[in-house]
Amino acid sequence: MTVQQLKSINHLTSTLIFPGQVLKVNTITSNPDKGKNTTDVYVVKLGDSLSTIAKRYNLSLSALLKINPNISNSDRIRIGQTIRVTGKASASAINKPSKSTKADQVLAAGAKYMGAKYVYGASTSRTDVFDCSSFTLRAFQSAGISLPRNSVAQSHAGTAVSSKALQKGDLVFFDTNNDGVINHVGIYAGNGQMLNASTSKGVSYANINNSYWGPSFVKAVRVLN
């Protein structure tokens, strides 16, 4: 593809991209009755391993490593890293989005703002600073989902889910003041982690089960179908 083609299918206005950002790329189709041969680049997300990526593209781990000779340690990959993937996927697997596609889209959109500072009451039009709910609102916009402005209102959106049944993309809510009122929201990213805009670290990942967030957990809701 040309750079202009890549920009066009991703509605990009510049060549600036971010670690963790998801880009659409062309697929090469051969013999559609038997499936589609695809050549693609996969962006590593939180919770990924080379074995799960290989399985997703119907590859063996050794085959994936062969087309990625730059990977010297199969146990060490990082979020935002690009992995070449080549394999045969069924037409249904290509045409039908996976269950986590929207969640990955939301998390990738949020990760673009990693390190942005926290400002209480930040305008939803700003992307240089966030408060917790303006951050979740912005991230979910990428998947075409509109959320209410504040964390209390967001806690009433979607369907309540148990903390033991959390999935990537679920909203998780906390009462850090222990006054019975929800005052913080984050996006569950898998493996006990959430992506959030916190007062101390701004946009960052945090363990929802640590000594600070664990006792403050109130509820979780699922807004992604």
Each domain of the chain, given as residue ranges in start order, spans 3-95, 101-222
Nearest to 83 by CA among 36, 50, 46, 47: 50
CATH topology (fold) of 3-95: Membrane-bound Lytic Murein Transglycosylase D; Chain A (3.10.350)
Model confidence at 98: pLDDT above 80: no
Catalytic site includes residue 11: no
pLDDT confidence of residue 55: 87
Which of 89-103, 107-121, 201-215 shows the lowest per-residue confidence on average (mean pLDDT)?
A: 89-103
Nearest to 195 by CA among 100, 120, 116: 116
Catalytic site includes residue 184: yes
SS (H, E, C) 5-70: HHHHHCCCCCCCCCCCCCCCCCCCCCCCCCCEEEEEEEECCCCCCHHHHHHHCCCCHHHHHHCCCC
Q: Which helix (H) or strand (E) holds 141?
A: helix 132-141
Nearest to 154 by CA among 172, 139, 131: 172
Catalytic residue among 31, 68, 70, 196: 196
CB 111 within 8 A of CB 79: yes
| CATH code assigned to 101-222 | 3.90.1720.10
SS (H, E, C) 70-108: CCCCCCCCCCCCEEEEEEEECHHHHHCCCCCHHHHHHHH
Average pLDDT over the chain, rounded to an integer: 85
Catalytic residue among 26, 70, 95, 132: 132
Q: What are the tens digits of pLDDT across the range 176-220? A: 999 999 999 999 999 999 999 999 999 999 999 999 999 999 999
Rounded CA-CA distance 108/133 in Å is: 17
Q: What are the tens digits of pLDDT across the range 137-146? A: 999 998 889 9
Q: Which residues pair with 70 in a beta bridge?
A: none
Q: Which residues pair with 152 in a beta bridge?
A: none
Model confidence at 45: pLDDT above 70: yes
Amino acid identity of residue 210, one-letter, is N
